[in-house]
Amino acid sequence: MTIVLATRNPGKIEEIREALSGLDIAFRTLSDFPDLPEIREDGTTFRENAEKKALTVARATGLPALADDSGLEVDALGGAPGVRSARFAGEGADDRSNNRKLLDLLRGVPPERRTARFRCVLALAFPDGRVYTVEGTCEGRIVEDPAGEGGFGYDPLFLIPEEGRTFAQMTREEKNRISHRGRALSKLREVLPRIFSPKNDRPL
């Protein structure tokens, strides 16, 4: 089977490929389809955005497409940045700008109120309109200063209390084992054989 990964984020692409390695899947990415237009992520939930991206790419390429929409929900900020995680500091913002804005907004907030979670929704869509979704979450806390050199996005700020480390201080394998995306991909890996079964004709 061939699946188009509906993202240009190299970190996400690598995590997805590693999590689904060993399966009989050939992956393509948006780089293989340079004429595809940018998809406006205007949904109010991660699920809406993931489904929109996956369906748009599946219909444009004629191939199954896997889209991810994920982000950080900080309790002290009412769940922000949420679906705006990638553009928290404005359109075109980079990781450094987003992290700086988050820390500025949390200045003075005590550790016990800096609880947060990463949430990931994966949507696998087919050109005929079928869509399958799975979700994964990971609970943690926002630190006061960035720590670690690995990962991407908010990883240097997201502490796993049981580990005593941020995502950015973990190896990729360690992070993938417990992360929101890792958990969603684990669920997807379990159901993929059923999704691609000839007898399957409706979403799970």
Neighbours of 44 (CB within 10 A): 9
How far out from the chain centre does Cα 156 lie?
16
Strand-by-strand arrangement of the 131-142 sheet: 26-29, 2-5, 65-74, 115-125, 131-142, 158-160, 165-166
DSSP bridge pairs for 116: 74, 140
Angle of helix 10-19 versus helix 180-195 axis, rounded to 10: 50
Please indicate whether residue 69 is annotated as part of the active site. yes
Of the CA atoms within 13 Å of residue 104, those in its CB half-sphere come to: 8
> Comparing C-alpha atoms, which of 72, 85, 46 is closest to residue 158?
72
3-class DSSP state of 51? helix
- Of the listed 24, 35, 68, 69, which one is catalytic? 69
Q: Which residues are catalytic?
A: 69
